[in-house]
Amino acid sequence: MTKIKHEVVNWAKDPTKDQRLLDWLDENETEREVLFSITGVDRKNPGKTLSGYTPNKKLCGERAAAGIFLPDVDHNLWLRCQQYPEHYGQVVIYHINYQWKEKYRVFNNKIGAAASILPYSEIRVDGELHMRIEKLMEDEFPYWSRLHLYWRTNPYYNTFYNSPSKAPNKGPATLSISLPKRTAGNSASTGVMTRKRKLEDSGASVPRPGSSKNSPRKQFIVVEDSPSPRSSSPDAEDERGESSSKDAALARITAEYKGRKRDRKDSPPRYQGPEGSGDTALTASQRHELRMAEIQLRRQELELEIQEKKSAAEMRRAQIEAEAHSQREKHELMMRLMEFVTGAGEAGGSK
């Protein structure tokens, strides 16, 4: 098998190739979404078809190569692209996912995290940041602004973008629950009883009244008594019954709280906001969404690794096939030469 000698695609020597590729990506939204995605699927329209086929990275890379390697620019390269579309499609994919990506990340590191997540159109013209970006684009990577339009909110390319998995952890703040007042009629300490439940972490628990200072700290219900005159209502018996039901409800709330604390004891420490600021706590739904986002990002990273390994394996297989083809052609050439020499010798002997 003859080893195929592909035309070298020198992107640095001919910058117009990058410009043509960017123009082609601007005009072909579906292929752009596929080529820029981690999974190789159009995120906006995962089931969309183009000209009778479902787009994937391989086919979109071949279409991009056919759209930028033109006969009027480099005829030999165009011929090779027509003969070996798969190879030159992989060349385009490699250029996007490795060469462009690395330059884009280096550029973002130089301008900083805050600037990297700003839309380019929102950066004040003639400001210090704008001039720095223009200088870097002129000296190092002139295509940053065009790629930033698509990659700014993609955490795979822009590592500074705040994806859900990088959201700061916030722990539950102090939660106060006020229960209805009740009147007791059988105790000298009767009065309006105000109960509030405090959720404290293990390091900030309040000791149970009457316990020693060195006793272990525990989670409990703090009961604060506000003295008031003894009620002489004729409905005292009904109120005592109502009080018993409220005590039972309070005990149930206490048990539920302790159960939740046991479930959360293995959770990583989280930020605890100031006392009484319940709006800083993450709800169960938000924590679930955060976990799902982390799982999704990890899955995408694994799929990307698989795709990269698959691409490398395909390129290696193509190289091996080319080498085998070269060896077969050499063998065939040697056989023809031997036949020619043998035939010439037999002809000379017959004379």
Query: Residue 253 burial by CB count (10 A; 0-12/13-18/19+): exposed, middle or buried?
Result: middle
Q: What is the pLDDT of residues 278-288, one digit of tens each?
A: 444 568 777 78
pLDDT at 199: 42
What residues does each domain of the chain span?
Answer: 1-164+285-351, 171-229+238-280
What DSSP element (H or E) covers 131? helix 128-139
Q: Region 117-126: what's the mean pLDDT?
A: 88
Neighbouring residues of 194: CB distance < 8 A, sequence distance ≥ 6: 178, 179, 181, 224, 225, 226
- Within 10 Å of residue 79's Cβ, how many Cβ atoms? 13
Q: Over the stretch 164-196, which tens digit does the pLDDT of each residue have?
A: 544 444 444 444 444 445 444 444 444 444 444
* pLDDT the model gives residue 243: 58
* Angle, CA 258 vertex, CA 254 and CA 261 arms, to 5°: 140
For residue 104, the tally of other CB atoms under 10 A from its CB is 20
Query: Per-residue pLDDT tens for 337-346?
Result: 888 887 766 6
The pLDDT-based confidence of 131 (bands split at 50, 70, 90) is very high
More confident: 288 or 158? 158
Q: What is the mean pLDDT of residues 74-83?
A: 88
